[in-house]
Amino acid sequence: MKYHTEAIPKLLTKFPNARLSITPTPIYKLARISSHLGRHIYIMRDDLTGFTIGGNKVRKLDYLIGDALAKKSDTLIATHANNFTRNAAAAGRVFGLEMHVLLTGDESEQNRASQALYRQFDTILYYVTKNDEGALTTKYDEVLDGLKKQGKNVYELYPGGSNSIGALGYVNAFDQIVQYSHSTGVHFDKIILSTGSTGTQAGLVLGQCISGYDVTIIGMTASQKADVQYKRIHDLASSTARMLDIQFDESSIVVEHGFIGDGYAIPSQEGREAAKMFAAMEGLLLDDVYTGKAAAGLIDYARNDLFDTEENVLFIHTGGNAGLFY
C-alpha cells in the first residue's frame, strides 16, 4: 500500500518545535485484549509523552511553545484547570515564561491535586464565578489588557491547545504511525481515539491527507454530539490546511457520539468496564472522562463486528491520569 514517508517531516520543518515530548511513543499489540475480542488491537502510548503529566497535550505544546518562543513572548495566558493548562504551566516555567490561568469557581472549589501542581510552577491564578456566563470572557480580557499595559508580550493559548499551531502536534504524531508501518509492515485499517477540543483528531486527519496513508480515523466524542463535533474538527482542520497550504479531504472526518453516557466528565458504566478490562488484561490505566469512554467505543465496535477480523486497529491512549484531577 503506497504512502509518502517523507511528506510530513518536510512540511513541518519550518514550524518551531520546543521538543518537550519524548517521542516516538511506544506502539505495540495488546495481546490479551486482542485475543479476548478476536481482533488485532494495537495501542499508541501517548500517555507517555514524558513531560510533566504527559498525554496528548504535550505534543500540542511542542509547537505552541515553539511558536511563543519564536515570537519572543514572555507571558502565557489560558483558561480552565485541565491537563493542557497544567502541562502548559510547566512548559512556561521551563522556558522562563510567566503563566496566567483563569479558573471557574472559587479557590475552595478547585481540585487540590491540580492546585498543588500550579503552585509548583508558580502559576498566577484568577478565580471567576461560575454563575455569570460572561464573567470568564470579561475577566480574561481584563487580565490580558492589564498584562499588555505592563509591557508583556503575551501569547494566548487556545482551550486545549487546539488551534492551527497546536494541531501540528498530531500531524507530527501521524508521521510516527506512518514510520511504524513502514518499518514493521503493520498497516492500520482503523484508528480510534477520544476527541474533545478537536486538535488531536484534526491533526491526525491532516497527517493522513499529507501522507496518503489509507486508514479510517474514528473520534469517540467526550462531550459533543457527532454533528457538532464534526463541524468543530472540520473548521480546525480547514484552517490548519490553509496554513500548511495543502488540500484537505473532509470525508476523512468520522465522529461517533454513542459513548458519552450522561455527559462530559460523568463516568459511564461502559467506560468503567472498558477501563477495568484494559487494567486487568494489559496493566493500562484509562480515565473516566476521555480514554475510558473511547475504549468502550472500541470494544463495542469489535463485539458488533464493525471491525473486520483481519483489520489492524490502533487505539491512541491520549492520557488523562486515570481521573486524578476530576
| Domain ranges (residues) in the chain | 7-55+164-323, 74-152
Give the per-residue pLDDT at 95.
98
How would DSSP label each residue in 211-262? HT---EEEEEESSS-HHHHHHHHHHHHHHHHHHHT----GGG-EEE-TT-TT
In this structure, whether the domain defined by 74-152 belongs to CATH 3.20.20.80 is answered with no
Domain 7-55+164-323: give its CATH code: 3.40.50.1100
Q: Say which residues have a Cβ less than 8 Å from residue 305's Cβ, sequence separation at least 6.
A: none
Indicate left, alpha or beta for 198 from its phi (over 0: left) and psi (-120 to 50: alpha). left
Q: What letter would DSSP give residue 161?
A: G
Give the per-residue pLDDT at 326.
62
pLDDT digits (tens, 9 = 90+) for 55-64: 999 999 999 9
Q: What is the mean pLDDT of residues 203-214?
A: 98
Whether 178 shows a pLDDT value over 90: the answer reads: yes
H or E segment and range at residue 64: helix 56-70
Whether 77 shows a pLDDT value over 90: the answer reads: yes
The residue ranking higher by pLDDT, 321 or 6, is 6
pLDDT digits (tens, 9 = 90+) for 96-138: 999 999 999 999 999 999 999 999 999 999 999 988 879 999 9
Between strands 40-45 and 27-29, the pairing is antiparallel
71 class by beta-carbon count within 10 Å (0-12 exposed, 13-18 middle, 19+ buried) = exposed
Q: Which residue has the cell 515530548?
A: 21
Q: What letter would DSSP give residue 307?
A: S
User: The pTM is what?
Assistant: 0.97
Whether 189 shows a pLDDT value over 70: the answer reads: yes
Q: With H, G, I as helix, E, B as strand and everything else as coil, classify residue 29.
A: strand
How would DSSP label each residue in 139-159? HHHHHHHHHHHTT--EEEPPG
Whether 205 shows a pLDDT value over 70: the answer reads: yes
* Position 312, amino acid: N
pLDDT digits (tens, 9 = 90+) for 20-43: 999 999 999 999 999 999 999 999
7-55+164-323 and 74-152 share one CATH topology? yes
Stated length of the chain: 326
The chain-wide mean pLDDT, for the chain, equals: 96
Nearest-10 crossing angle of helices 164-184, 56-70: 130
Question: Contact 121/90 with Cβ under 8 angstroms?
Answer: yes
pLDDT digits (tens, 9 = 90+) for 217-231: 999 999 999 999 999
Q: Give the confidence band of 265 by pLDDT, cuts at 50, 70, 90.
A: confident
* Position 123, amino acid: T
Q: What is the mean pLDDT of residues 297-315?
A: 98
Between strands 98-104 and 312-317, the pairing is unpaired
